[in-house]
Structure 1
Amino acid sequence: MGRNTVGAAIDAAVKNEQLLAACQKVVQIESLTGEEAAVAQFVADQMRLQQFDKVDIDIHGNVIGTLFGDGTGPSVMVNGHIDHVPVGAMQNPFSGEIVDSSRWGEEGTAIFGRGSCDMKCNVIAAVHAVGALKRAGLKPGGDVIVVADVEEETDSPNGVKSVIREGLRADFGISVESTRGQVYLGHRGKLEFEVRFIGRTSHASEPSNGVNAIYLATRFIDRIQYYARSLQQDDLLGPATVAVTGMHSFPDNGTAVVPDLLTLRVDRRYVRDETPAGCQAEIEDMLRTTNPEGQGSEWTVELINHYPLMYTPKDSPVARAAIVAAEDVDGQAPKISAWRFGVNGTFMNEAGIPTIGLGPGDEKWAHTPEEHVGTRDITEATRKIARAVLAVTRGGELA
């Protein structure tokens, strides 16, 4: 079966009305982090309707659906999460309404609601992409495993990390986080540090008797803004960055006390020429410079969260398959880019599963009051994901 014949068979098997109805429904099911049971059941039911060969929900609530291959090629894991962030100021966040996209300067229509592009509609697109292969009679060369995981928004270990820890593996991976239907090769790494400044309490009427921990931090905060301007730029992943994202002093109970402790949360995004250890060393050097009289007792640094850098080369079989798939749908080569935020595909990459990104929606709308995903984008991404899955399990060609 030739490339154009395969693409036509996939497109004929994508049931667009059912696909968009399922996307509307999944947005209407509230699924805050830790409260995903109802949406997990819906996704599992969708997998069964799409004729997956095996569907399970594990102890943490992750949904794992498998379409068995014929054993002639590599396997692929397709991943997306089913939790979403709080709604904030968003109006009618669970409407799942199809609206005119012109309100955002876009063409066509879109599904509106919290979790639409981040990323429950993306998960449904992946499920229906696999279903299209089954209906078209296109047997993949290796198993196709769709993992719809929980608690991604809080970097919990209970999602795809636990699935991998329990032994699930594949030869290649595709994250369906929003890429605007283009091919993403990864993202910067994220390090979160807790920096503690330690002073000495005194009565606020006698501040000179104490050491104000807030004042110990001010020179470091000034220095970190200067440091931010010196960080390097990665041609693919974007700029290395640093930001203070939280600050809290103690005691803070309203009494007249000079605080003896201040904690800062520092977010450091690193790129391919950097290492986590090197980034921490730079933070520590700034602390020594801005607190020259300290001997390590006036401040401490602790790495409290690490979201690893993700990068898969463009010549990887899974990247080549995604490029072939996107070009077959769009009629032109896709843009090769990277996410600005982190995705769970990084843990697949870390486990030795080369992973790329291919999904509907624009990441700039994630976590905003205007979150939405275009209906045409959903349909085209479904067609692309199906092609990419077939291509990578058949040795990189769409045939």
Structure 2
Amino acid sequence: MLKNTAGAAIDEAINHPDLIAACQKVVQIESLTGDEAEVAHFVASQMRAQDFDTVEIDANGNVIGTVFGDGSGPSVMVNGHIDHVPVGAMQQPFSGELVDSSRWGESGMAIFGRGSCDMKCNVVAAVHAIGALKRAGLKPGGDVIMVADVEEETDSPNGVKSVIERGLRADFGISVESTKGQVYLGHRGKLEFEVKFFGRTSHASEPSDGTNAIYLSTAFIDRLQSYAGGLRQDDLLGPATVTITGMHSSPDNGTAVVPDLVTMRVDRRYVRGESPTICQSEIEGILRATNTNDAEWSVALINHYPLMYTPEDSPVTQAAILAAEDVDGVTPTIAAWRFGVNGTFMNEGRIPTIGLGPGDEKWAHTPEEHIGTADIVNATRKIARALLAVTKGGDVK
């Protein structure tokens, strides 16, 4: 059992003004995917200020910091990404301004800006949570490894996946993507298929001389919509879904030509009980039913973001539940993300991983992206407690 003063010691060790100021600063640093160098150096400086034992920026730009444990318990990998999506129509996206969150029907103050809840403030919160353990004199049982990774928004393999593939390992994992301070067990898997339809060009004044690839695709589109309505529902992860996310015909250069090629991207989210092979087989079945000539179409899996799931009885889940209960005084909601997170690659690498982080995922990628300051502080308290509990196997009160 851990001392019943551990939670109080953690709270005393978290410097609230420094934490919020660091979160404001990190939002003010633009870090589009592929251009994360400046924010990586800032995160590394935060790790050093929090007295991490080792800090490095690897060849891909991932920031990796470690606080060593005493060797008595399991190790934990903590993950969050430092890139963000384009700003779109967002006004003053890098202000990092403190604003009254009542404008969104919430209470208290919030930090506004692109990348605030998705998810640079979450990364800073995790760094400060790990640092709080050292300042509180609470050495974890195993090493705590923080990986702030790059290029997550484009599903790149250069982030935590590359870190794991080169040999870095831990016994458990925590993703600090936004969970509103609740405990998330995973998310659906994502498959992206490239579907092509092959026709025959002709002069547009004589369309009967050709085979219009656009027309070849229409029956498939109709049948795909019917298929979408019959997909299974997962009680935790949500519904399996399918949708077309892109479509292009060619030639498409303004000349009078019947197009002989349509290229389409199909997004398929799958749940427990399904697999990439099953999903691709079903897509192929629809293609065969709507285009009996196999020479008229092809399908290829071009991206796979694996399904993520860690059971509720896993030690890391139980540690997160205990941590949230200690801070909030109530049992947390057990849920799942609607989108995908890089923690899935930790799960894939046999590191059981759950989610525990500040912020509401519904604001990610929107012009109103923000994160509550109280949420940041409380999530920092929870992450520190969860790390101590899973590495020490005890109470966090």
Q: CA deviation at 1:396?
A: 5.1
- Work out the percentage of aligned pairs sharing the same amino acid: 80
Q: CA deviation at 1:395?
A: 2.1
Match of 2:283 in 1: 283
Q: Deviations over 1:58-83 (max 9, x none)?
A: 00110000000000000000000000
Q: 5 Å matches for 1:149-164? A: 149-164=149-164
Match of 1:356 in 2: 354
Separation of aligned partners in 2, 1:11 and 1:219? 60
Match of 1:141 in 2: 141
Q: CA deviation at 1:3?
A: 5.4
Separation of aligned partners in 2, 1:395 and 1:323? 13
Code of the residue aligned with 2:37 in structure 1: it is A
Separation of aligned partners in 2, 1:175 and 1:308? 15
Code of the residue aligned with 2:165 in structure 1: it is R
Code of the residue aligned with 2:259 in structure 1: it is P
Q: CA deviation at 1:16?
A: 0.4
Separation of aligned partners in 2, 1:353 and 1:170? 6
Match of 1:57 in 2: 57
Matched, 1:274 2:274: yes
Match of 1:231 in 2: 231
Separation of aligned partners in 2, 1:275 and 1:149? 27
Q: 5 Å matches for 1:305-316? A: 305-316=303-314
Match of 1:389 in 2: 387
Q: CA deviation at 1:273?
A: 1.1
Q: CA deviation at 1:200?
A: 0.3
Classify the secondary structure of the residue corresponding to 1:339.
coil
Match of 1:129 in 2: 129
Q: Deviations over 1:137-173 (max 9, x none)?
A: 0000000000000000011111111101110000000
Contact 2:2 2:392 in 1 (8 A): no
Contact 1:74 1:395 in 2 (8 A): no
The counterpart of 2:371, out of the listed 367, 370, 373, is 373
Separation of aligned partners in 1, 2:393 and 2:104? 40
Q: CA deviation at 1:55?
A: 0.4
Code of the residue aligned with 1:33 in structure 2: it is T
Match of 1:262 in 2: 262
Code of the residue aligned with 1:290 in structure 2: it is T
Classify the secondary structure of the residue corresponding to 2:346.
helix
Separation of aligned partners in 1, 2:156 and 2:192? 14
Match of 2:335 in 1: 337
Code of the residue aligned with 2:179 in structure 1: it is T
Classify the secondary structure of the residue corresponding to 2:19.
helix
Code of the residue aligned with 1:29 in structure 2: it is I
Q: CA deviation at 1:398?
A: 2.7
Separation of aligned partners in 1, 2:59 and 2:295? 43
Classify the secondary structure of the residue corresponding to 2:79.
strand
Matched, 1:195 2:191: no
Q: 5 Å matches for 1:77-96? A: 77-96=77-96
Separation of aligned partners in 1, 2:386 and 2:380? 10
Code of the residue aligned with 1:166 in structure 2: it is R
Code of the residue aligned with 1:98 in structure 2: it is L
Contact 1:213 1:259 in 2 (8 A): yes
Q: CA deviation at 1:205?
A: 0.2
How many residues of Structure 1 are paired with residues of Structure 2 in the alignment?
A: 397
Separation of aligned partners in 1, 2:141 and 2:22? 28
Code of the residue aligned with 1:138 in structure 2: it is L
Q: Deviations over 1:253-294 (max 9, x none)?
A: 0000000000110000000011110000000000011112x0
Matched, 1:68 2:68: yes
Contact 2:2 2:394 in 1 (8 A): no
Q: CA deviation at 1:340?
A: 0.2
Separation of aligned partners in 1, 2:220 and 2:177? 36
Instruction: State the Cα RMSD in Å.
Output: 0.8
Contact 2:190 2:270 in 1 (8 A): yes
Separation of aligned partners in 2, 1:3 and 1:197? 65
Q: CA deviation at 1:361?
A: 0.2
Runs (4 or more) in structure 1 with deviation over 3 Å come to 1-4
Separation of aligned partners in 2, 1:28 and 1:351? 33
Match of 2:321 in 1: 323
Contact 2:322 2:386 in 1 (8 A): yes
Classify the secondary structure of the residue corresponding to 2:268.
strand
Separation of aligned partners in 2, 1:205 and 1:396? 77
Separation of aligned partners in 1, 2:308 and 2:159? 17
Contact 1:320 1:396 in 2 (8 A): no
Separation of aligned partners in 1, 2:174 and 2:248? 39
Match of 2:98 in 1: 98
Contact 1:14 1:132 in 2 (8 A): yes
Code of the residue aligned with 1:89 in structure 2: it is A
Separation of aligned partners in 1, 2:124 and 2:93? 18
Query: TM-score normalised to the size of structure 1?
Result: 0.99
Contact 1:46 1:127 in 2 (8 A): yes
Contact 1:318 1:396 in 2 (8 A): no
Code of the residue aligned with 1:386 in structure 2: it is A
Separation of aligned partners in 2, 1:350 and 1:148? 18
Classify the secondary structure of the residue corresponding to 1:153.
helix
Match of 2:168 in 1: 168
Code of the residue aligned with 1:317 in structure 2: it is P
Q: CA deviation at 1:4?
A: 4.0
Separation of aligned partners in 2, 1:162 and 1:309? 18
Q: Deviations over 1:312-353 (max 9, x none)?
A: 000000000000000000000000000000000000000000
Separation of aligned partners in 1, 2:174 and 2:193? 30
Separation of aligned partners in 1, 2:274 and 2:166? 30
Contact 2:211 2:258 in 1 (8 A): yes
Classify the secondary structure of the residue corresponding to 2:385.
helix
Which blocks of at least 5 consecutive residues in structure 2 are unaligned? Answer: none
Code of the residue aligned with 1:361 in structure 2: it is G
